[in-house]
Amino acid sequence: MAKIGFIGLGIMGRPMAKNLMKAGHELVVYDLNEAAVKDVVAAGAKAGANNKDVAAQTDIIITMVPNSPHVKAAIFGENGVAEGAKKGSLVIDMSSIDPTVSKEVGAKLAEMGIRFMDAPVSGGEPKAIDGTLSIMVGGSEEDFKEAEPILRAMGTSVVLCGEVGAGNVTKLANQIIVALNIAAVSEALVLATKAGVNPETVYKAIRGGLAGSTVMDAKAPLMLDRKFDPGFRINLHIKDLNNALAAGHSTGVPLPLTASVMEILQALAVDGMGGLDHGAIVRFYEKLAHVEVKRG
């Protein structure tokens, strides 16, 4: 079993850290939120004084923070990972960030003799708790072989997607598809409702055909039940699509549908719904059509 540093004990990071300990790994953890640190320490972890201290005590360091600037601060900021990490250490960033930043971080760490992988996750808090996340990895095959058993303590699907940055490119592709799926389901069920057809019946009729999807099965029932408590917040999906659009612009790939859904999400955030689940995209269409999708 490995001695692992874990930085970032938020909604996702906390259960992920606990699953590593359940698998028998020893953890040294740090987060600005002292309550989160105390909770994970109570489960068996050791608290580090700061990011530098965590890195100094471990050979594998996982970061799970909100976005690109937070990753840079955790690794290269004052008392950051880079100050404490030994040569040959492996830093695994499991945050969902701009892939160009992953490449930048990886290159800078490589100059210091520190290895790096990006390994963003999909599945939200429920799968983080269950340890059934999908993990998309960018890095060398050698580093992946070393890290795979550790990652499998947190996820059931662990796939090497390519070199550093490929993990976050894959995650952005995932987030584009999820957002567009939710928007399509919303648009269709609002049409059904306004046309006088029971949206629940429409969902049941089409879910087994070509239109069926994991996204529809996850979100349509929640729309029909008017349940918009966050599994994955609109504000977080805005962050991911911002990164997707930035990646598209930097690589010369127009993303017109992504941009359209981004504006829907922005409108919902302006309307005070940024903290709701992204299934609340249906509420944007409902407002336009003056109907409400619900069970008959």
The predicted model gives 154-177 an average pLDDT of 98
Tally Cβ neighbours within 10 Å of residue 263. 11
Distances (CA, A) of 139 to 154, 233, 252: 18, 28, 23
Helix (H) or strand (E) holding 60, with range, is strand 60-63
> pLDDT at position 108, please?
98
Helix (H, G, I), strand (E, B) or coil at 54: helix
pTM tops 0.85, yes or no: yes
pLDDT digits (tens, 9 = 90+) for 48-105: 999 999 999 999 999 999 999 999 999 999 999 999 999 999 999 999 999 999 999 9
What CATH number does residue 59 fall under?
3.40.50.720
Together in a domain, 187 and 77:
no
Type of residue found at 275? G
Range of the domain at 117: 3-164
Listed residues 164, 192, 211: the one ending a domain: 164
In angstroms, the CA 124 to CA 133 distance is 8
Please name every residue paired with 277 in a beta bridge, in sequence order, or none if there are none: 233
Together in a domain, 176 and 280:
yes
pLDDT band at 112 (very low <50, low <70, confident <90, very high): very high
Together in a domain, 38 and 156:
yes
In angstroms, the CA 143 to CA 123 distance is 24
Together in a domain, 90 and 115:
yes
> pLDDT at position 69, please?
96
The predicted model gives 31-44 an average pLDDT of 97
In angstroms, the CA 60 to CA 6 distance is 9
Q: Active-site residue 219, yes or no?
A: no
List the Cα angle 150/152/156 in 5-degree steps: 165
- Quick one: 225 exposed, middle or buried, by C-beta within 10 A (0-12, 13-18, 19+)? exposed
Tokens of 137: 């990895």
Catalytic residue selected from 18, 52, 171, 219 = 171
> pLDDT at position 125, please?
87
Tokens of 90: 């492996």
Chain centroid to Cα 48, Å, comes to 24
What CATH number does residue 174 fall under?
1.10.1040.10
Dihedral sign of CA atoms 270, 273, 275, 277 in order = negative
User: Strand 90-93 and strand 60-63: pairing?
Assistant: parallel
Together in a domain, 139 and 218:
no
Is 294 within a domain? no
Together in a domain, 31 and 157:
yes
- Backbone φ and ψ for 112, nearest 5 degrees, come out as -95, 0
Together in a domain, 110 and 195:
no
In angstroms, the CA 48 to CA 32 distance is 11
Identify which of 99, 110, 120 has the alpha carbon closest to the alpha carbon of residue 75.
110
* Residue in the structure block whose two tokens are 């100059």: 111
Together in a domain, 154 and 115:
yes
> pLDDT at position 277, please?
96
CB 39 within 8 A of CB 14: yes
Type of residue found at 228? F
- Quick one: 170 exposed, middle or buried, by C-beta within 10 A (0-12, 13-18, 19+)? buried
pLDDT digits (tens, 9 = 90+) for 175-230: 999 999 999 999 999 999 999 999 999 999 999 999 999 999 999 999 999 999 98
pLDDT digits (tens, 9 = 90+) for 245-264: 999 999 999 999 999 999 99
Together in a domain, 270 and 154:
no
List the Cα angle 29/158/59 in 5-degree steps: 35
- The chain-wide mean pLDDT, for the chain, equals 97
